């Protein structure tokens, strides 16, 4: 079972991931944002999940703009965007 501090850290990380996901979606055109299934920050890289390879490719074209817009908001912690296809279940 998680201790109180561990649980609060987990809740904080989930909230931060949700905020980043929402921010990424607002920075993309609506047509592309609809195909983002998640976004997280991992070691200075924003990892964006897309629902198909075709949409991932289109989102990748926006990577430089996303880095430029996200880096200041995260105190320069964002240096790269990596777009992956969400695995099917």
Q: How far is CA 44 from CA 2, 28, 49, 78, 80, in A?
A: 27, 20, 16, 5, 7
pLDDT band of residue 80 (cuts 50, 70, 90) is very high
Place of tokens 């201790």: 3
Q: Could you tell me the pTM of the whole model? A: 0.84
Q: Indicate which CATH number applies to the domain containing 44.
A: 3.30.300
Domain count, the chain: 1
Round to whole Å and give the CA distance between 85 and 66: 18
Domain that holds residue 44: 4-85
Query: pLDDT tens for residues 51-60?
Result: 999 999 999 9
């Amino acid at each position: 079972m998680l201790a109180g501090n561990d649980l609060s850290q987990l809740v904080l990380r989930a909230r931060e991931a949700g905020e980043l996901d929402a921010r990424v979606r607002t920075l993309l055109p609506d047509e592309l944002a609809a195909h983002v299934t998640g976004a997280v920050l991992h070691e200075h890289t924003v990892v964006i999940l897309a629902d198909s390879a075709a949409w991932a490719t289109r989102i990748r074209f926006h990577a430089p703009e996303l880095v430029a817009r996200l880096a200041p908001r995260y105190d320069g912690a964002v240096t790269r965007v990596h777009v992956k296809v969400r695995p099917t279940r």
